[in-house]
């Protein structure tokens, strides 16, 4: 193979269009380096000069969560998407599109601030006395607990889980799998206790936790292999227990 085609869904809300670019094959290329190549000479497949493609990027080593997009319809990070893997089976076209469950800004870039708002709602932090002098360490954490929580803590808010989830939509208030997983992270931390009940109540209020259809898409697309489908039923049970406790108190 000497060339391949990037077929890209471009444009702004309600003004989206497809544009194709033909690029020389390079066995070390990834989707990001291909998009960078277009910047230097933004001419589409029809030979028409166009604007460089817009996308979001950061670390390019799959730890910042910025470069999420749909590649051949699957949500993932573009930096680890190698061109040679996508052209292996004789296919010469790779399709890039922006996420659909978030506000489109332009081309492949969407605004994911909704995910950060969700972190605010669920108090995704450890309440502490701040940066005053600390003479003592926090509560001890066993190596086993650390090993189980650390993976949850590598969530980079990339949005792949929400994008893949059939229950997440613009209309529904469901915070998505990532936020629920964060509830588990903070509620399992020995120092996360003070706000534990509140987090569960928030999740109960949320339209979605009960609505999880167990499609298992989220766990399949998570680039960090976070055990999302393990966390969702676990937190749902905890939330139900909390509701029962609250009911008894109210009664």
Partner 1 sequence: MADRDVIVVGGGLAGLAATMRLAEKGCRVKLVSLMAVRRSNSVCAQGGINVAINLANEDDSPIIHAHETIVGGDFLANQPPVLEMCMAGPSILRMMDHFGCMFNRTADGSIDFRRFGGTLYSRTAFCGSTTGQQLLYALDEQVRRFEALGKVEKFEHHEFLRLALDDEGRARGIVMHDLYDLKLSVLKADAVVIATGGLGVIYKKSTNSTICTGAANGRLYMQGMKYANGEFVQIHPTAMTGIDKMRLISESVRAEGGRIWVYGDASKQIQFPDGSMRPCGKSKEPWYFLEEMYPAYGNLVPRDIGAREILRICEMGLGADGQMQVYLDATQMPADKQKKVESVLEIYQKFAGEDPRKTPMKIFPAIHYSMGGGWVDWPACDDPDRASRFRQMTNIPGCFNIGESDYQYHGANRLGANALLACIFSGLVAGVEAPRYIDSLEKHVWSIPSSVFETSLGEEKHRQKELLDCEGSENIYRLHDELSEVMVHNASVKRDNQNLRLTIDRIKEIRERYQRISLDDRGCALNQTYVFAHQFQAMLEVALVIAKGALLRDEFRGSHYKPEFPKRDDKNWLKTTIASYDSDGPKIGYETVDTRHLDPAARDYAAAVKTKPTLKNIPTNIELPI
Using CB under 8 A as the binding rule, the residues of this chain from 190 to 209 that contact partner 1 are 191-192
- Binding piece for partner 1, criterion CB under 8 A, among 2-10, 79-87, 197-205, 213-221: 79-87
Is residue 87 at the binding interface for partner 1, with CB under 8 A as the rule? no
Q: Which of residues 155-194 bind partner 1 (CB under 8 A)?
A: 156-157, 186, 189, 191-192
Report d(CA 229, CA 180) in Å as an integer: 10
Per CB under 8 A, 54 contacts partner 1: yes
Q: How far is the CB of 100 from partner 1 (least distance, A)?
A: 18
DSSP label at 192? G
β-bridge mates for residue 75, sequence order: 70
Instruction: Count Cβ atoms within 10 A of the Cβ of residue 44 and give its class: 0-12 exposed, 13-18 middle, 19 or more buried.
Output: middle
| Structure tokens belonging to residue 30 | 């990834």
Site for partner 1 in 102-141 (CB under 8 A): 105-107, 109, 111-113, 116, 119-120, 123-138, 140-141
CB of 39 to partner 1, least distance (A): 5
CB 160, min distance to partner 1, A: 14
**Between residues 114 and 212, which has the closer beta carbon with respect to partner 1?**
114
118 near 175, Cβ under 8 Å? yes
Cα 86 off chain centre by: 22
Q: Which residues pair with 11 in a beta bridge?
A: 16
């Amino acid at each position: 193979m000497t060339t391949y085609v990037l077929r890209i869904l471009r444009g702004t809300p309600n003004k989206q269009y497809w544009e194709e670019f033909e690029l020389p094959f390079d066995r070390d290329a990834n989707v990001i380096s291909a998009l960078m190549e277009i910047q230097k000479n933004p001419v589409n497949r029809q030979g028409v000069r166009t604007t460089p493609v817009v996308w979001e990027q950061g670390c390019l080593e799959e730890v910042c969560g910025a470069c999420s997009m749909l590649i051949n319809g699957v949500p993932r990070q573009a930096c680890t998407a190698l061109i040679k893997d996508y052209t292996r089976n004789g296919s010469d076209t790779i399709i890039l599109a922006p996420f659909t469950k978030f506000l489109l800004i332009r081309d492949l870039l969407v605004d994911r601030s909704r995910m950060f708002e969700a972190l605010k709602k669920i108090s995704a932090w450890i309440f502490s006395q701040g940066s005053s002098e600390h003479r003592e360490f926090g509560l001890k954490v066993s190596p086993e607990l650390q090993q189980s929580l650390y993976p949850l803590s590598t969530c980079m808010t990339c949005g792949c889980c929400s994008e893949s989830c059939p229950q997440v939509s613009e209309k529904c208030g469901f915070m998505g799998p990532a936020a629920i997983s964060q509830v588990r992270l903070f509620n399992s931390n020995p120092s996360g206790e003070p706000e534990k009940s509140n987090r569960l109540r928030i999740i109960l209020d949320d339209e979605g936790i009960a609505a999880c259809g167990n499609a298992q898409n989220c766990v399949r697309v998570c680039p960090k292999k976070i055990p999302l489908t393990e966390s969702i039923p676990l937190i749902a049970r905890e939330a139900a227990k909390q509701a029962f406790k609250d009911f008894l108190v109210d009664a």
